[in-house]
Amino acid sequence: MAAPAPLGEEALIQSMKAGDDHSYQEAVRTFTPGMLAVARFYLDHSSAEEIVQDCWVTVIDAIHKFEGRSGLKTWLHRIVANRCKNRLRSSNREVPTDFSESLEPELAGRFNAKGRWDLPPKMQFHDSADKLMENGALSDCLDKHLSALPETQRSALMLYEAHQHKSDDVCNILDVSASNLRVLLHRARQKIFLMVETFQETGEC
């Protein structure tokens, strides 16, 4: 049997409030990747998975209080963030972040003392993103590099790019200032830029 068509957000919320199993399955598929990205900003892999699972159970009751002031995605991401912050507080730990430099060392080393390019980008990435993604090897390479990013950079990138949150929402969810978010995003993008450049020049990941 074909899968049912996805519900619009308002219809989804109403059927979640009615306790419909299928709407929860749809919501879990849609929102769990982002919720996990939020949790991984704060916690290790297994604690993050645990928090996300617990959140879904909490949502069954909490959805009745959801008033729609923010979108469902933002609301869910905030629930996860609050739980993670509580967990960190109770264990007296902090998220390790490095906002000191906005240039990746590998890129910073490509300028001379006068601030001009010593080693400029050699070639232009001609293909569109969709075209580039058709290259399976590049897609695998991107997966590998995304996995290797520091958790904080990856979460910021995921929420901003893949889940298309506004900057204010990302700052709120991840509890970082606007300028620190800019550093996280820029560092992550430079790493992806350097990866694509190496891949296009050498064909190697």
Partner 1 sequence: MLMCRDLAVVASDYIDGELAGLQNLSVKMHLMMCRDCRTFIGNLRASTELMKAHSSIRPDEEFMRRIDERVAEALKARKEDSGDG
Binding stretches for partner 1 (CB under 8 A): 19, 21, 24-25, 28-29, 32-34, 36-37, 49, 52-53, 56-57, 60-61, 102-103, 107-108, 111, 114-117, 120-121, 123-125, 128-130, 132-133, 139, 142-143, 146-147, 154, 157-158, 161-164, 167, 182, 185-186, 189-190, 192-193, 196-197
Instruction: Decide whether 11 or 60 has the Cβ nearer to partner 1.
Output: 60
Distance CA 42, CA 171 (A): 13
Instruction: Decide whether 29 or 93 has the Cβ nearer to partner 1.
Output: 29
Residue 25's alpha-carbon distances to 30, 32, 68, 163, 195, in angstroms, are 9, 10, 20, 19, 36
**Shortest separation between residue 129's beta carbon and partner 1, angstroms:** 4
Closest to 30 (Cα-Cα) out of 1, 73, 61, 68: 73
Contact 24, 4 (CB under 8 A): no
Instruction: Decide whether 69 or 116 has the Cβ nearer to partner 1.
Output: 116
State the distance between the two ends of the chain, measured CA to CA, in whole angstroms.
41
Instruction: Decide whether 94 or 113 has the Cβ nearer to partner 1.
Output: 113
Residue positions counted in the chain: 205
